[in-house]
Amino acid sequence: MRHPPGAFVRFWANFSAVFAATLFDYNGVLVDDETVHLAAFRATLAPRGIAVDERTYWERYIGFDDVGAFTAMLADAGREAPSALIAELVEAKRPLYMERARAGLKLFAGAAERVRACAAQGPVGVVSGALRDEIELGLGLLGVRDVVSFIVSAEDTTRCKPDPEGYEKGLALLPQLERASVLVIEDSVAGVRAAKAAGLTCVAVTHSYPAPVLLEAGADWVGETLSEVTDDALSALATRRLGA
């Protein structure tokens, strides 16, 4: 069920103890696909003699979109990173990711249920550094595409997280809502920082980083899994944040 902005949503934002809209990150929150991305990055860069080890990937490149990741990977390998080459690498990686994802994309437990629960309270959007076709694939596999009102993907932004551009674009699609009534659900340090830079309340799950790291980045509340992000937990958080 899609919720168009209007008087009802404004009323809900002012008086409900649950957030009026929710913006989900995608990779690491709804789908467990970072190993798929790593394999696709490796396959794309291997012909150029560039190797990406798993530890460096998790420590340095998580949270980047493809443009940011390839730029950093080339720089770390001592290579030039002109925009034309980055665009070529992004397009080369796209089918490598999609092939692997279609063969076995892992979905986080509780992801579909949490998206639908949030959609019952108000509009749901996805704000991610992933490519649009990647997000569409995952939402289709989760069976929640019908309740997601909009997607802000890598193609829609020029700067990746921790820059708040993606979340600012998401807010622009919710023009009747106050920032205080919009919730973000993230998993990465870069994502949390982007949400907080946009002035949004951010819940994080420890799918990619431990709780102390996410809290230090600015998360307002951290749960181990999406199953812990219950309506009761969000109601308590909303009451505290909106009443502050």
pLDDT in tens, 21-48: 999 999 999 999 999 999 999 999 999 9
Which DSSP state fits 130?
A: S
- Domain's final residue, options 82, 104, 126: 104
Same domain, 130 and 99: no
Are residue 17 and residue 75 in the same domain, yes or no? no
Asked if the model's pLDDT at residue 6 lies above 50, the reply is no
* Encoded tokens for 165: 């551009």
* Structural domains in the chain (count): 2
pLDDT tens string 223-232: 999 999 999 9
| Residue 54, domain extent | 34-104
**Any domain includes 128:** yes
Instruction: Single out the residue in 72, 104, 136 at which a domain terminates.
Output: 104
> Do both 141 and 86 map to the same domain?
no
**Is 215 part of any domain?**
yes
The verdict on 93 and 59 lying in the same domain is yes
Q: What are phi and psi of 24, to 5 degrees?
A: -95, 135
Among 72, 89, 104, residue at a domain's last position: 104
Pairing state of beta strands 182-186 and 124-127?
unpaired
How does residue 16 score in pLDDT terms, banded at 50, 70 and 90? very low
Say if residue 14's pLDDT is above 60: no
**Total residues found in the chain within this entry:** 244
Tell me how far apart the alpha carbons of residues 69 and 51 are, in angstroms, rounded to a whole number. 13
- Residue 173 in domain: yes
Two tokens, residue 26: 């995608």
pLDDT tier at 182 (50, 70, 90 boundaries)? very high
pLDDT at 193: 98
Claim to verify: residue 113 and residue 194 sit in the same structural domain: yes
